[in-house]
């Protein structure tokens, strides 16, 4: 009981520090940075100083060792202020967890301390121009060149932290002819070097500030000891384990966006008047606020449940999928309802509502579309309830 209460107090202090950082160092700059699609370099440096790039990396490797549950609450708070900075951390930590959960002892000792400080920062290299959800269809190939290196050729797209990051957990085909296809897939810890180039930065509707890029690999060499786990053919499962964390992160982002939209709507509805009274006293607005609040709370509970399952080391693709599906739809619906409550002001770039409305669709698409989440949920539902 004492340990539980100490953990709760530690979490409270961590979240209070994050809130203070967001209010002092992030919120005042969001409008200008987002409007001009400027990478928040100064904010990233301050995030490094606070250890946020190592927040769930184990303490023995220099990380903070926070639980996934606490991490989800951090991401929720970040996304309520500016979703883009949560993405800068998320892709990086998926890469770190791929190594922490699957890497050799030597790989963990070499990379995790540098990941924790943010000295080496990056993300995951999965999707390709002709391959999104169907990861087994990737065509980036890594072939052995002697005993010491792999030589990589191929293209990746929609890669977060591709420009300003310097390392990727890179999904490749080490045996393009393997059957089934997943047995020919591996993950390499790929630091930038000759042959690893950023071909272009992608322009986006929302999710501004974070760098999202197309990458080219042309005879790019990776040391053979950077094969995650030291064994070929395990890459797809290694990445899928990481994506459970990614989906919890995206769910937490959805909670943050939904919460920000509700907060703005509740505040505005009390100061905007029509027909002689604040619009929050009109039943039509009350119905919207009631639905928004209920969606938010349900999304939050699903997200925390998935995070707790991940902390216990359980398989949680169904729980993470449910949280991701519901929370991101809640973000989309709440941002739209907040815009309707604000009227023309919600459509104006002077206010944050239009930014929330532009950011929310990415969550429905990213880390596996919501259509794919429904399929994952259904398959796991059947698997866990065999007749």
Reply yes or no on whether the pLDDT at 3 is more than 70.
no
Tens-place pLDDT, residues 103-153:
999 999 999 999 999 999 999 999 999 887 788 999 999 999 988 999 999
Catalytic (active site) residue 367: yes
Tokens read off for 163? 């420009």
Q: How confident is the model at residue 330 (pLDDT cuts 50, 70, 90)?
A: very high
User: How does pLDDT run across 289-310, given as a tens digit for each residue?
Assistant: 999 999 999 999 999 999 999 9
Q: What is the mean pLDDT of residues 200-220?
A: 96
pLDDT over 60 (residue 285): yes
For residue 259, pLDDT over 80 is answered with yes
Segment 276-292 shows an average pLDDT of: 97
Q: What is the mean pLDDT of the chain?
A: 95
3-state secondary structure of 125: strand
Beta strands at 185-191 and 141-145: parallel, antiparallel or unpaired: unpaired
Q: For a pLDDT cut of 90, what percent of the chain falls above it?
A: 92
Mean pLDDT confidence for 263-279 = 97
Position 194 confidence tier, pLDDT thresholds 50, 70, 90: very high
pLDDT at 33 over 90: yes
Q: How far apart are CA 53 and CA 48, in angstroms?
A: 6
Would you say residue 1 has pLDDT above 70?
A: no
The per-residue pLDDT for 7 is 83
- Domains annotated on the chain, with CATH: 2-117 (1.10.540.10), 122-233 (2.40.110.10), 237-384 (1.20.140.10)
Residue 64: count of CB within 10 angstroms of its CB: 18
pLDDT confidence band for 361 (50 / 70 / 90) = very high
Q: How far apart are CA 287 and CA 330, in angstroms?
A: 15
> What's the pLDDT score for residue 146?
84
Six-digit token string for 209: 């500030």
**For residues 89 and 82, what is the distance between their CA atoms, to the nearest angstrom?**
12
Name the nearest CA neighbour of 217 among 173, 152, 276: 152
pLDDT at 147: 85
pLDDT bracket for residue 363 (50, 70, 90): very high
| Closest alpha carbon to 293 in 325, 341, 362, 365 | 341
Burial class, 361, CB count within 10 angstroms (exposed 0-12 / middle 13-18 / buried 19+) = middle
38 has pLDDT over 80? yes
Question: Would you state the pLDDT for residue 131?
Answer: 83
Measured CA to CA, the distance from residue 208 to residue 36 in angstroms comes to: 8
Q: Enter the tokens of residue 269.
A: 């509805």
The yes-or-no verdict on residue 276 having pLDDT over 90 is: yes
Catalytic residue, candidates 319, 367, 371, 383: 367
């Amino acid at each position: 009981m004492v340990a539980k209460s100490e953990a709760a107090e530690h979490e409270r202090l961590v979240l209070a520090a994050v809130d203070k950082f967001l209010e002092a160092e992030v919120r005042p700059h969001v409008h200008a940075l987002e409007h001009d699609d400027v990478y928040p370099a100064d904010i990233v440096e301050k995030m490094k100083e606070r250890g946020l790039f190592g927040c769930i990396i184990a303490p023995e490797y220099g990380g903070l060792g926070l639980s996934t549950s606490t991490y989800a609450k951090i991401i929720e708070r970040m996304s309520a202020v500016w979703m883009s900075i949560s993405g800068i951390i998320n892709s990086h930590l998926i890469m770190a967890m791929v190594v922490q959960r699957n890497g050799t002892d030597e790989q963990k000792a070499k990379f995790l301390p540098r990941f924790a400080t943010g000295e080496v920062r990056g993300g995951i290299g999965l999707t390709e121009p002709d391959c999104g959800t169907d990861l087994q269809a990737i065509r980036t190939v890594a072939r052995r060149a002697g005993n010491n290196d792999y030589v990589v050729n191929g293209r990746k797209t929609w890669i977060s932290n591709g420009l300003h990051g310097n390392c990727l957990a890179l999904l490749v085909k080490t045996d393009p002819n393997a059957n089934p296809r997943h047995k020919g897939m591996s993950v390499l810890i790929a630091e930038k070097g000759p042959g690893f180039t950023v071909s272009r930065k992608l322009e986006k509707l929302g999710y501004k500030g974070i760098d999202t890029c197309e990458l080219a690999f042309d005879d790019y060499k990776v040391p053979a000891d950077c094969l995650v786990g030291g064994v070929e053919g395990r890459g797809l499962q290694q990445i899928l384990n990481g994506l459970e964390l990614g989906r919890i992160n995206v769910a937490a982002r959805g909670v943050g966006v939904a919460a920000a939209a509700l907060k703005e709507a509740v505040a505005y509805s009390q100061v905007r008047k029509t027909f002689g009274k604040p619009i929050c006293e009109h039943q039509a607005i009350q119905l919207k606020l009631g639905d928004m609040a209920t969606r938010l709370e349900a999304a939050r509970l699903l997200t925390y449940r998935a995070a707790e399952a991940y902390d216990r080391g359980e398989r949680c693709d169904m729980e993470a999928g449910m949280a991701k599906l519901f929370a991101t739809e809640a973000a989309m619906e709440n941002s739209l309802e907040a815009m309707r409550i604000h009227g023309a002001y919600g459509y104006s770039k002077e206010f944050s509502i239009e930014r929330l409305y532009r950011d929310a669709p990415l969550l429905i698409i990213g880390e596996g579309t919501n259509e794919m989440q429904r399929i994952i949920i259904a398959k796991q539902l059947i698997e866990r309830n065999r007749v």
